[in-house]
Structure 1
Amino acid sequence: MKNFFTNPFNVSIASLIASIVLYALIVGAPLLRVFTASTIGTLIQIAVPILILITILGLIYSFFIKGNKKFIFVFLHLASICIISFGIYVFIALQDFAP
């Protein structure tokens, strides 16, 4: 574990992979129709803060990557933060829209 956190490239890649898995979980769980609405709500309440923390951790570590890959990882993490922010904004804006 000590060697993992000393290499920022590995941390950034692991963060992106974990983000993709959490995005798939958040989008895919309601499509399975196996879970109830309260279970999906609880799943989203747990997954979104973890997703935010993982993305911020990956963004911080991507600033320490050397070479041309640095800009790609910074861009991908910033895009992920923008997607999360937009999703939260839409959720709050449409929360009281439905009867």
Structure 2
Amino acid sequence: MNSRNSQQTSRPITTQNNGLTVRLTPNSSSSPKLNNTNSNSEPLNAIGNECNVCYEQPINSVLYMCGHVCMCYECAVKQWRGPGQCPICRAVIRDVIRTYWS
């Protein structure tokens, strides 16, 4: 590795999109570390908890057959009865399963 490459990897990389800040910084083992924070510098959940369609209700449904977990139950049923395809992978929605987190 030349000195130019080592200089490039030692600086943190930060990007912001819709209030989400992603910062990539090298850690002590020379592997990059991903830090996800929102604009308030609070850690984000791995899955998230806000419907990706209405942005108002918590995510509480699974699309059957593809298994994507991305919408509230009400939006998932509308998607199933409307276009009938998963908005992420475009697989045919065969059913919507309501989920309950404990």
TM-score strictly above 0.5: no
Which is richer in helix? Answer: 1
Q: Which has the larger radius of gyration?
A: 2
Which is richer in strand? Answer: 2
Query: Could you tell me the TM-score, scaled by structure 1's length?
Result: 0.27
